[in-house]
Structure 1
Amino acid sequence: MNPITTLESIVQQYTSGKRDFRRANLREMDLLNLDLAKADLSEADLRQARLGKTNLHDASLRRSNLSEALLWGTILTEANLEEAILREADLSGAKLERARLRSAILCKASLGGASLIGADLREANLFEADLRPTADQITDLRQARLTGVDLSYAQLSGAVLAGANLDRAKLCRAHLQSRPLRATATGGSPQGLSATDLSGASLRNADLSYADLTGVILRDANLKGADLTGTILTDIDLTGAILPDGTQQVHAESPN
């Protein structure tokens, strides 16, 4: 396969119908605002590449290396990112609905304001990842599959994880506490908190030891077998939730 070394060659080949860019060396390249939907970039070297706002819908990036890549606002809906390396990548505001990220490495990645509705992140590593909302966008993980994911020390304050599957997830010392709302554009004071929403989420056998869950919404969540050693549970809403011992919480107050 001929090496791809310039932006012009990528655009020309894609426009002519080529979709196979497997193992391409695109390290540190500027690939902003391109249409690369359905492209096959499996095992490509995209370290420190700039892909902001690029359309990668239904593209294959399986086992590609995107360490420190800039992917803010990138369209990755239904993309295959299984086993991809996204260490310290910036995915702020990225569109990852129904994306496949199983076993991907996202250590210290920035995912603020990203949409991951229905994404598959089973067995992914998000150690120290930042999933806090941005000033104008929530981080949306509704219905995401996060079974066995490593979110130790991750920043999840204000994220929406309603209905997510976090069975066996590692959330040791994760920051899930509700966060203060930002001041208004007119300079007014912020009102209230942006609550981290885990309503209806499944956290069976999850490790929540020493995590901060202050103000978190856990209505109808399943915490059976979860490890709450040292967990901060101040002002959480557990209405209808199944507790670690298998009993159901009737009222909202935190367990003793």
Structure 2
Amino acid sequence: MEVEELLKQYAAGERMFRSVNLVGVNLSDMDLREVSLIRANLENTSFINTNLSGSNFRESKLMGVDLTDAQLADANLISANLTDANFSRANLTGASMRGSISKNVTLNMANLTDANLAEANFTEANFIGAHLVNSTLIRTNLLKANLSGANLDGANLTNVIMRDSTLEGANLSNATLSGAMLMGANFHRADLSRVTMVGADLTDANLSEANLRAANVSWTSLRGANMSRARLYRTKLNWSNLSGVNLIEAVMLDTVLYRANLRDADLRGAILPD
């Protein structure tokens, strides 16, 4: 199908364009609300500043697509291939990217509030400054992803994979990370207040200067982690493994350490619980 024919049919009220082939075309600055492009091939197509609210891209090929500043509220991107796609500053509020292949995708400054990213593959993706408030990332693969400065307040990251990911300065307050694989992740100066992180693996993670006020980090492995100058006021670390942890100058007032393993931990200058 040619672009002109698609636009003509859309203007006439047609919304279903299943399995069309529109590789490398320009559909920027258009209003295509509620368009259905299920299983379409849209590789390297440009949708810059296009209104695609309520659209359906289920199982479509969107590799290398440019969706900068696009409107994608409540869009269906389930099981789509989004490898190398650019969603910078896009509005994906309430969108579903469940099960998508999103390797190396760019979502910098995108709005993903209430979005569903569960079980998707976001290996080496960029979410710098993105809004992921109350989003769902259950069993999502974020291996080596960059979420620096992202807002994940209230997000559900149960069983997420974030090994070697960067979350420096990110806001994860009230988030759930139980069972998360966070080995080697960088949480420097991140806000983890009131987070639930039971049974997670933070081996060799960087939590220096992070805020874990009132967080529940019980039954968690923190072996070799850097928690220097971390704020651990009222943090629960029951039954957690803190062997070899760097707790230099950490604030541990009212920290709960029942049955915690602190063998070889460095507590120099730390403010310890009574």
TM-score normalised by the chain length of structure 1: 0.84
Q: State the 1:8 CA deviation.
A: 2.3
Are 2:63 and 1:37 equivalent residues in the alignment? yes
Pair member with larger Rg:
2
Contact 2:42–2:62 (CA under 8 A) maintained in structure 1: no
Verify the 8 A CA contact 1:30 1:49 in the aligned structure 2: yes
2:196 corresponding residue in structure 1: 175
8 Å CA contact 1:87, 1:108 repeated in 2: yes
Cα distance in 2 for partners of 1:63, 1:11 equals 27
Kindly provide the amino acid, as one letter, of the partner of residue 88 in structure 2: R
Following superposition, the deviation at residue 233 of structure 1 comes to 1.3
Tell me: CA distance 1:87–1:175, structure 2 relative to 1, closer, same or farther (3 Å): same
Percent sequence identity is 33
2:145 aligned with 1:124:
no
**For 1:103-142, what aligned pairs fall within 5 Å after superposition?**
103-133=129-159, 139-142=160-163
Number of equivalenced pairs: 231
Unpaired runs of at least 5, structure 1: 134-138, 179-195
What does residue 215 of structure 1 align with?
A: 219
Residue 157 (structure 1) aligns with: 178
Asked if residue 13 in structure 1 is aligned to residue 22 in structure 2, the reply is yes
For residues 43 and 80 of structure 2, the distance between their equivalents in structure 1, rounded to whole angstroms, comes to 18
2:99 alignment partner in structure 1: 73
Q: Which has the higher contact order (CA 8 A, sep 6+)?
A: 1
Shift of 1:19: 1.8
Q: CA RMSD in A?
A: 2.3
Q: TM-score, normalised by structure 2?
A: 0.79
CA contact under 8 A between 2:43 and 2:64: conserved in structure 1? Answer: no
Asked if 1:166 corresponds to 2:187, the answer is yes
State how far apart, in whole Å, the 1-side matches of 2:237 and 2:73 are. 40
Map 1:226-245; keep pairs closer than 5 Å.
Answer: 226-245=230-249
Q: Is the contact made by 1:7 and 1:29 (CA closer than 8 Å) also made in structure 2?
A: no
The 1:68–1:219 alpha-carbon spacing in structure 2 relative to 1, beyond 3 Å, is same
Residue 13 of structure 1 deviates from its aligned partner by 2.3
